[in-house]
Structure 1
Amino acid sequence: MVIGRFPESIVVIGAGMAGLVCTLELMKQGYNVRLFEATNRPGGRVYTMRDQFADGMYCEMGAAFIGAHHFLTLSYAQQAGVQLINLPVPNRRLTYINGRLIIDSPAEPARWPVSLTAEERNLGYAGILEKYLNPGLKATGNPFLPDWPTKQAIQLDSMTMEEYLKGQGASPGAIKLSEIGYMQMLGDGIRKVSALQRLLDLKMASSEGSAQTIAGGMDQLPKKLALTIGSNISYGCAATHIEHNNKGVTIQFTKSGEVFTIYCDRVIMAIPSTVLRTIHFSPPLTKEKNDAIQNQLSTSVTRTVVQSRTKFWKNLSSFTTVNTDLKIGWLYDATFTQTTSRRGLICSYSSGEAAREIARAGNLNAAVSEIKQVLPELSYNYEGAAVFSWDHNPYSRGAYAWYRPKQMIRMIPTLSAQQDSIYFAGDDTSLFPGWIEGAISSALRTVNQIIAGNSI
């Protein structure tokens, strides 16, 4: 096989993890690549908030950890030279449910204030999840094999996660327990999301080894990759129009109120579908492609971060996280790796309708009140709060893609397919939206599409 003429130039739109990796890998192959980013920073939804808190403290608004089996992410972290820190594994699980803080551990199993069957009470929380989730986790199959999706995977994609749990025999009480915390963080919850997507995401989240975070903040990874790219990145440039034909691509951008135009042979759209909808394509994208872009859903995520005068929670049963049935969702210690200040940050991770409600003007105080309800000592330590909504960010318009039944298997091949000289990357074109691993895998797939297109 002989490699043909390289394109004169390739433009990548979006300096999130997918756009950064596309640019780096194409540069390695000798292509002339320019990367344009609408904001003033690299990373996209890998975003570490730093300017709202005292003593140099920071909090992750997006990606917060890397799983032990996220091999692509770990590889790029090694290449970038960032330092990884193991996340703590708590010996107790804290859950706030029906107005009570429940402590659950292998040594002292909790008495859950929900109606469970005798078998479920015997199994305990971990046993309930294992009993009802393991069959589905196996049934998803291996999406990297050529015969995927299997009949079982297709069947899972035809039902909601709640329907799957009911089919496994889970009681209403067990379903309530299972959806508190991480299970509820995809789309509008288990009553609406595809069981296949929910189970594939659980596989991505689970880890046989220790999950890790990046010392100094997750944004260190995109920042270091951007340094390698150097002057080939232009910030503050928002794409508005794309014209394409068999001779190449013309892209119109705005920067500081001024309009400018770039000509190239190929363009990679490494931005979410929610933002792709704002760009005018001429000629239009195919109906199938456009329908997939217009109909892909994005999870609403709102983070509420409270600053505390002390890390009073260090005395609370090895607190690192609390799952709640409140609008604030999942609470966690955002400063467990930050030891230079006596202060601390507690972050609330809300999703779905709860996230949309908290993000509405004037609702910050209600979220803070719920956090104080779970952790009463915060009332004496409270110093202030900040709220961040991905829905309200004009260059994300949501946090990560989610699918209703019968959407995932049908839409992803369309979302990831190229059209003429236009290519599409990003975690929402992968099977693992919301993960750096999904973004990187989409970038490598896109790079391979371009290289294959230049082979003769």
Structure 2
Amino acid sequence: MSAWKDLPAQTRREFLRRVTILAGGTAASSALPALAAVANNVPQLHVVIIGAGLAGLCAAYELERSGHRVTILEADAKHVGGRTRTFRFSDGLYGEAGAMRIPTRHDITRRYIREFGLPLRKFVLSNPQAYYFLRGERQRIADAARLSRLYALRDDERGKSPDDLWSDSVVKALKSLSEPEKKDLTADTLATDKVRAYDQQSLQQLCEAAGLSDEAIELLAVTQGAETLLSSAATEHLREELLEVWTQGFDEIVGGTDRLASAFAARLRSKPRLGCEVVRMSQRSDIRRTAAVYRQRGTEQRVEGDFLLCTVPCPVLTRIVVEPELPGPKQRAIRQLNYDSSTKVLVVTKRRFWETDDGIFGGGTFADLPTGTTYYPSDNAEARDPRVSRGPGVLLASYSWGQAARRLASLPHQERVTSVLLHLSRVHPQLREPDIVRESASWSWDNHPYSGGAFAWFMPGQHSSLHRHIIAPAGRIYFAGEHASLTHTWMQGALESGLRAVREMLVAAQA
């Protein structure tokens, strides 16, 4: 018998409780070791997982590795991976409808990518040869300081690049924080007055408090791809700046981001059950059991387990009946948590004119047009093979967020493409050439019935008022997904939340 089993039950429970508390307040890199600390000596559990996105797949993978049983119910009849979704075109070309890049700092994501043997290559985020298209003028990013002539800036703002303006506002605010205050940005519950104050501010208000003029804020926001995020919580942007999300480089999965979800699914003994839309979750505390009722091919079925893990986004969760009802604060958090919108329009062109004519190998063009940001493929960024440049390529012609995304999403697919090409041809006249576009695809996460939005993104005050309720379990029902993390929008957030939920369920099983 192990020394662990020799401990009194009360001592075991207290140890597990402390491990969970400590793990919840540390960096993401501690998530897997923290899980390992509680994985042993837990009686076999049966966990019903709702949703086969990355959070659900990761949780299932780790539960099975620890000897537990899982049942995964996925509403989509043809897809696993949630908001990782790759479009496949002819000639082996592909593009991403969802997640498309992995920050260097996202250690958990990279840990699984290495474990599964998936190849990576550099994702080029910024390229000085790409363009800004602002107020009707096209300008190379390398000449960003010249943009100030297009705006009615104050004398002290003229000649500054967008990066300078970001440093004068967001970076300056971050530097004003003490080390405990910086740590507070990544805490589930905010403990410092200064960070709580920033949580009540929007990005717009932070920039105004830093002394930026309205014209400078517009220049900063458009060139950072953040114009639709000006009303969101300042703490979202301070946290990403603290964690160096945008400054330490990115990679992409060769062959498509959906390979990560496929790798998880391939290693599961219990494969996701597709086309199973959960309509009801229930639990009984007297017998420590949970149940999910789902519809499959027009009939309702029921599956029971020791725990339920719900990983669906909040817009979808609002459609599921929960018995008994969730606590009032959790219901409010699910209803109110802000989700941003995202629409992508991709085109396959018969030649990579941005490489042959403009010398752009990877990176993005930022515009105040309805197109938002345009991203160029990174697959030829290092080799710069002229044979590849003369051949077809996938251009992410439009990546838009917020109101701009919703406006595009309101159009049928072909009208989206026509509108995007009309505007983007002002930046790249080559798009007016006959038959330059061979194929196209578009995607709106708002319009997807099992997403209802692109990603969670706090509005002012939501970190303080909602986050702790979003992540809290309700009896034997646990919750995960990028919305149940502080790493919103990223695959890392989904994985972090899945690991956290597994750890908490294993702790609860020992109680």
TM range (shorter): over 0.9
Q: Is the 8 A contact 1:41 1:235 kept in 2?
A: yes
1:293 matched to 2:342? The reply is no
Q: Structure 2: which 5+ runs fail to align?
A: 6-39, 382-387
1:238 matched to 2:273? The reply is no
Q: Measure, in 2, the Cα distance between the counterparts of 1:49 and 1:285.
A: 37
Which of 158, 172, 175 aligns to 2:217? It is 175
Q: Structure 1: which 5+ runs fail to align?
A: none
1:345 matched to 2:386? The reply is no
Deviations 1:140-184 (A, max 9, x none): 612446985432221111111101001001122221111115442
- Counterpart for residue 82 of structure 2: 44
Structure-2-length-normalised TM-score: 0.83
Question: What value does the CA root-mean-square deviation take over the aligned residues?
Answer: 2.3
Which of 60, 63, 66 aligns to 1:23? It is 60
SS in 2 for 1:374: coil
1:376 matched to 2:429? The reply is yes
1:274 matched to 2:309? The reply is no
* Higher radius of gyration, 1 or 2: 2
- Counterpart for residue 238 of structure 2: 199
Which of 293, 297, 313 aligns to 1:256? It is 297
Which of 203, 220, 229 aligns to 1:189? It is 229
Q: Is the 8 A contact 1:47 1:218 kept in 2?
A: yes
- Counterpart for residue 323 of structure 1: 366
1:312 matched to 2:348? The reply is no
Structure 2: which amino acid aligns with 1:28? R
Structure-1-length-normalised TM-score: 0.92
Q: Measure, in 2, the Cα distance between the counterparts of 1:270 and 1:156.
A: 29
The CA deviation at 1:37 is 1.4
SS in 1 for 2:158: helix
SS in 1 for 2:267: helix
Matched residue count: 450
Identity %, equivalent residues: 26
The CA deviation at 1:361 is 2.9
SS in 2 for 1:285: coil
Deviations 1:67-103 (A, max 9, x none): 1111111111111110010123523452111011111
The CA deviation at 1:8 is 3.9
Q: Is the 8 A contact 1:104 1:110 kept in 2?
A: no
Q: Measure, in 1, the Cα distance between the counterparts of 2:312 and 2:191.
A: 26
Q: Is the 8 A contact 1:161 1:198 kept in 2?
A: yes
SS in 2 for 1:263: strand
Deviations 1:355-412 (A, max 9, x none): 1111113441222211222211111123343221101100101100122211122211
Structure 2: which amino acid aligns with 1:249? T
Q: Measure, in 1, the Cα distance between the counterparts of 2:295 and 2:174.
A: 46
1:152 matched to 2:194? The reply is yes
Structure 1: which amino acid aligns with 2:220? S
Structure 1: which amino acid aligns with 2:428? L
- Counterpart for residue 212 of structure 1: 251
- Counterpart for residue 359 of structure 1: 409
Name the stretch that deviates more: 377-386 or 423-432: 377-386
Q: Is the 8 A contact 1:181 1:329 kept in 2?
A: no
Q: Is the 8 A contact 2:132 2:140 kept in 1?
A: yes
Name the stretch that deviates more: 93-102 or 71-80: 93-102
Q: How does 1:127-138 map to 2 (within 5 A)?
A: 127-138=164-175
Q: Is the 8 A contact 1:322 1:331 kept in 2?
A: yes
Q: Is the 8 A contact 1:46 1:62 kept in 2?
A: yes
The CA deviation at 1:418 is 0.4
Q: Is the 8 A contact 2:123 2:378 kept in 1?
A: no
Instruction: Evaluate the alpha carbon distance shift between residue 203 and residue 379 of structure 1 in structure 2; reply closer, same or farther with a 3 A threshold.
Output: farther
Q: Measure, in 2, the Cα distance between the counterparts of 1:378 and 1:219.
A: 29
Q: Measure, in 1, the Cα distance between the counterparts of 2:439 and 2:66.
A: 49
Structure 1: which amino acid aligns with 2:476? S
The CA deviation at 1:201 is 3.6
